[in-house]
């Protein structure tokens, strides 16, 4: 018999708000978080816009000396973890920290640190490279720094599966708890890649939106006929997961039950999804079956919805495969329309949006949706949030290389 697993804490750093309450209110308001890039001079770049996290002060969450030894992506993760643990009401001094683990990943890792240290290397030579270069840059440091900061000695790991990273980390943490290898897991994703090299790389791939530099607020438009590429974003989304027994024993507030997880591979192309959403659909089905549910039990899809032509078309086709005749009755929305694409952080942040949708029976909108595309005729929750009974929701994330990960959250009941 496996343990049931519940969500008891939420922590988020995002372009539309820091903290659960600010983030959720922004989603309900359809707030745009995309603007001109300020973290570097992008005037000569084809894409000059991003969803940057504004007003983030690491000192609000992390010792000042320690924060200087962390890349921005790790700072985001530690901050979001601090908020999630506080939200969960866990008194770490009364817990067995050997039974609390950290599964936090990043799609890229410390690329800002890498960029700055490469500049120093080429300008001044190897003797001027920081001794903290490697531990600030490597992708496992979000999980490591979170464990170190809070003294958590349980299972600790880091998925690096591009845009599926956060969902894979949460799904793998679910398995740890189901097996009984821990009582509590701090899990999710983080990313801080609004940097010259990363933006240049995605521009070279022709993956980014380049035709809204003078109108950033309308650049990210998932599922809309005139979508033209994704918009870079940054942030972190962390959830506290507990076995039901542990959560009930301490009288925790339970947001929702994390009921199912599916993971598979397109095995098709390094950047393009498999045609017709075939393996995305299979991944959704795996997660729904793992939750002990059927497609008829799902009332909301929190879509990967990147605002690229191939992703949004493929995901629409995947939803039609999964839900069949009911597909047009299942609302599908993408919060990337507001936040941009948070890459490795997307799964964590979007899981939080799904959990709050289930708890509040409210759906975040897909903003900037204006014109229906051919064959894309689902209910994309256009432009305004909506009250809607949500018994269970599925959150989709699909990463470069064909990494697919889906999570199912449902209303908690005894």
Which residues form the catalytic set? 163
Token pair for 410: 């449902």
Nearest one of 108, 403, 107, 405 to 268, comparing CA atoms: 403
SS3 category, 303? coil
Q: Is 159 within 8 Å of 345 (Cβ atoms)?
A: no
Q: Which residues contact 133 (CB under 8 A, 6 or more apart)?
A: 113, 114, 117
Reduce the secondary structure of 170-218 to three states and give it as a string.
HHHHHHHHHHCCCCEEEEEEEECCCCHHHHHHHHHCCCECCCCCCCHHH
Extended beta strands in 305-349, E state:
332-333
Extended beta strands in 70-195, E state:
100-106, 156-157, 184-191
Nearest one of 412, 391, 84 to 256, comparing CA atoms: 412
Q: How many CB atoms lie within 10 A of CB 217?
A: 15
Cα 381 from Cα 374, distance rounded (Å): 17
Beta bridge partners of 12: 237
Cα 229 from Cα 327, distance rounded (Å): 25
Q: Is 220 within 8 Å of 368 (Cβ atoms)?
A: yes
Nearest one of 362, 101, 56, 99 to 238, comparing CA atoms: 101
Q: How many CB atoms lie within 10 A of CB 324?
A: 10
Which value, to the nearest 10 degrees, does the dihedral of the CA atoms of residues 14, 17, 19, 21 take? -130
Q: Is 181 exposed, middle or buried (0-12, 13-18, 19+ CB in 10 A)?
A: middle
Cα 348 from Cα 239, distance rounded (Å): 7
Q: How many CB atoms lie within 10 A of CB 241?
A: 28
Nearest one of 153, 160, 139 to 184, comparing CA atoms: 153
Longest dimension (CA), the chain: 65
């Amino acid at each position: 018999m496996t343990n049931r697993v519940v969500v008891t804490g939420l922590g988020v750093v995002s372009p539309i708000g820091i903290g659960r309450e600010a983030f959720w209110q922004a989603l309900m308001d359809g707030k745009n978080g995309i603007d001109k890039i300020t973290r570097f001079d992008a005037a000569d770049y084809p894409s000059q816009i991003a969803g940057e996290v504004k007003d983030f002060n690491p000192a609000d969450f992390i010792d000042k000396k320690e924060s200087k030894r962390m890349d921005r992506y790790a700072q985001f993760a530690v901050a979001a973890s601090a908020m999630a643990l506080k939200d969960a009401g866990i008194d770490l001094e009364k817990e067995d920290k050997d039974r609390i683990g950290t599964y936090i990943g990043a799609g890229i890792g410390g690329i800002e640190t890498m960029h700055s240290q490469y500049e120093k290397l080429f300008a001044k030579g190897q003797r001027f490279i920081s001794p903290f270069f490697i531990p600030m840059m490597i992708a496992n440091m979000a999980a490591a720094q979170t464990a170190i900061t809070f003294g958590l000695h349980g299972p600790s790991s880091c998925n690096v599966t591009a845009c599926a990273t956060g969902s894979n980390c949460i799904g793998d943490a679910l398995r740890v708890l189901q097996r009984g290898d821990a009582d509590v897991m701090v899990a999710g994703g983080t990313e801080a890649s609004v940097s010259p090299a990363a933006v240049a790389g995605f521009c070279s791939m022709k993956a980014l939106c380049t035709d809204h530099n003078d109108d950033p607020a309308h650049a990210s438009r998932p599922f809309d006929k005139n979508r033209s590429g994704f918009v870079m974003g940054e942030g972190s989304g962390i959830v506290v997961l507990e076995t039901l027994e542990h959560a009930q024993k301490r009288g925790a507030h339970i947001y929702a039950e994390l009921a199912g997880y599916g993971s598979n591979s397109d095995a098709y192309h390094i950047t393009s999804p498999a045609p017709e959403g075939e393996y995305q659909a299979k991944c959704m089905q795996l997660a729904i079956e793992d939750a002990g549910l059927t497609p008829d039990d799902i009332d909301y899809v929190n879509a990967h919805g990147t605002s690229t032509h191939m992703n949004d078309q493929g995901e629409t086709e995947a939803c039609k495969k999964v839900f069949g005749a009911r597909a047009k009755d299942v609302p599908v929305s993408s919060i990337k329309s507001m936040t941009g694409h948070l890459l490795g952080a997307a799964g964590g942040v979007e899981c939080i949006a799904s959990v709050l949708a289930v708890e509040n029976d409210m759906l975040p909108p897909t903003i900037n949706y204006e014109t229906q595309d051919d064959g894309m005729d689902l209910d994309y929750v256009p432009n305004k949030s909506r009250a809607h009974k949500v018994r269970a929701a599925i959150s989709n994330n699909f990463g470069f290389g064909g990494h697919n990960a889906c999570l199912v959250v449902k209303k908690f009941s005894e």
